[in-house]
Structure formats: structure tokens, C-alpha cells
Amino acid sequence: MRVLVCELVPNEHIASFTNVGQAGNTYVLNFSNACSFEKVFAFVPIQVESMQNFKNAGAIEYFQVRAFKHKSIFKIINRLLESVKLLKQLYKYRKGPVWFYNITQHHFIVYIIAKYLYRSES
């Protein structure tokens, strides 16, 4: 089962965020559809400060944690909580290939754990 980890906002909501690029968002959506991933784990971009309640659509499952105010050190804590939440989900898919689109500091920890501890094909 092929899995994709990326940053994504639903197309119908992209216009409401001035700090999220539509071109990159559209590219990831087209890429995920063209490659027929069975599961897409989508982090809501870290620059989206407020908690969004995006509904999962088809194979796409959105990840966002805003347990604390999204400023300074608490932004990092929110990121770590998102990573832990995703790692729990990825454990089920550890035997198959896990693709990462644009490895950033946001999912670097997830990549390292998936690659070396889960021994998944990344």
C-alpha cells in the first residue's frame, strides 16, 4: 500500500488563506491523484495558525494540532504533537512504501522515524 505524506489544504478552502500557495497545493493534489496513492496524510501547513476542521476526503486524511497558542515555542510543541499523531497512523503502513513530498522541518522527524525505526521504504 503506497502512502504519501505532504502539506495540503482542500482546494475549496485555499482562497481563504493568503499564506498558502495555490500552485503547490494544486500540484500535490494532481500528483496524489496521478500516482494513485491508497492513503494521503496531509499536514495542514504550519503557517495556518488557527485550527481548521477539514473533512477527510477519499484517501486524504488531514493532520493539524493546535493544542497551544500557535506562537513561539508552542508552535514547535504543536508540530511535535502532529508528528506523534502521524507516526501512530503510519505504523500501520510501515511495510509498504511511504512517499514524502517536500521534506521540511515539519515532517523531518516523521521521515527519520519512518525510514530507520519502522524500516519502511521511503
Cβ 50 vs Cβ 69: under 8 Å: no
Q: According to the 3-state scheme, what is the secondary structure of the chain?
A: CCEEEEECCCHHHHHHCCCCCHHHHHHHHHHHHHCCCCEEEEECCCCCCCCCCCCCECCEEEECCCCCCCCHHHHHHHHHHHHHHHHHHHHHHCCCEEEECCCCCCCHHHHHHHHHHCCCEC
Q: State how far Cα 89 lies from the chain centre.
A: 11
- Whether residue 122 is predicted with pLDDT greater than 70 in this model: the reply is no
Tell me: the pLDDT tens digits for 46-104? Answer: 777 777 778 888 889 888 877 777 778 888 888 888 888 888 888 888 778 888 888 88
Tell me: the pLDDT tens digits for 2-28? Answer: 899 988 888 888 777 777 788 888 899
pTM: 0.82
- Whether residue 31 is predicted with pLDDT greater than 70 in this model: the reply is yes
Residue at grid coordinates 516523521: 110
